[in-house]
A = this chain, B = another copy of it.
């Protein structure tokens, strides 16, 4: 730090709100803390940014160290900076979210001693979280809901090939309300960015559903005008 800037004793952290979807249930990634403050509490994966890394890089690194997950596309959604939000001093935190396909394969394994464990927890009936993490989660969840209306985020939560029923139940989980099956399908298909595959669901004990794929290229073609708000 050079001369001109005043000293400011502060810490910068990142907290991550990571959503996953499995068995028709929306889940969030939590850790159990192994360090004071809030030792043994449940909390969002989060830690301190290093001097020479960008926020986005820090988010990726921290998530990896605390949960073993990496390569997610994370986006910041809010910065929390109340003076007393951290019991040990001034800590300003930038909250990020990401969405992740859960296929039971991905192992959660904290590399750092800060987290005892990392685990998925249904977004309903969340336990009390350390710090102001309950509020951070709530803010993040609301952002996601909003974004669901104008960005193709649902597909990040589903496997590459999915059925329309799975897609619908994801929407229902995020929006927390029932949708009409026929209208939902009609609308989704009318957008034109879902590609019907020649394949069907396997391993179910009833009529197998057709599988679909999200066609990102078609999506961007269709919505390039809408998103292109830069004048």
Binding site for B on A (CB under 8 A): 1-2, 4-6, 8-12, 36, 48-55, 76, 78-79, 81-83, 88-92, 94, 138, 141-142, 145-146, 176, 229-231
Contact = CB atoms under 8 A, between A and B. Distances in A.
* Copies of this subunit: 2
A101 to B, nearest CB: 23
Contact of A79 (B2, B55, B90): B55
A83 B9 contact: no
Contacts of A81: 12, 49, 54-55, 94
Contact of A90 (B11, B36, B51, B94): B51
Contacts of A92: 12, 55, 92
Given A1-B89, A76-B79, A79-B94, A146 B229 contact: yes
Nearest to A36: B4
Nearest to A146: B229
B8 A83 contact: no
A98 B90 CA distance: 26
Given A8-B12, A83-B53, A94-B81, A229 B142 contact: yes
Given A1-B10, A49-B81, A55-B82, 20 more contacts: A1-B88, A4-B36, A5-B11, A5-B89, A5-B91, A8-B49, A10-B10, A10-B12, A12-B12, A12-B92, A51-B90, A52-B90, A54-B83, A55-B81, A55-B92, A79-B79, A92-B92, A141-B231, A145-B229, A146-B229
Given A94-B81, A229-B142, A8 B5 contact: no
A48 to B, nearest CB: 6
A151 B12 CA distance: 31
Contacts of A53: 83
B48 A8 contact: yes
